[in-house]
Amino acid sequence: MQSIQPLVTASLPHVVRTNNALTAGSNGGPSFEELLANSVRQLNSTRQQTNAAVENFSIGAENPTEVLTAIEQADSAYQTATQIGNRLVAAYDEIKDLRI
């Protein structure tokens, strides 16, 4: 764990180290709820942009290459969101099964 902490703090500047634990939101950074809400908003925005590109393509106003690129970006975003959701559920299940 020691070796990845510099990577985590470098890639996530809003995460701070306190008492050998990584926390967010305590020093004015976004909370988990805010990060999740922003991610969902970005995912929805990607979906809307893709829908607009497909609609524009259907009337001949959009380049097919740009439409395919938008579709691939949206697909990648949804796959990433699905994997993150699966990992969150797995982490919750693991914590739930801990015996205290």
Token digits of residue 3: 């070796």
**Confidence band, pLDDT 50/70/90 cuts, at residue 10:** very low
- pLDDT of 7 reads 43
Write the DSSP assignment of 15-33 as a string of letters.
EEEETTEEEESTTSSPPHH
Q: pLDDT by residue (tens digit) across 15-70?
A: 444 444 445 556 678 898 898 899 999 999 999 999 999 999 999 888 899 999 99
Residue with tokens 């703090």: 9
**Confidence band, pLDDT 50/70/90 cuts, at residue 78:** very high
**Confidence band, pLDDT 50/70/90 cuts, at residue 95:** very high
Judged against a pLDDT cut of 90, whether residue 89 lies above it is answered with yes
Mean pLDDT to the nearest integer, 66-79 = 93
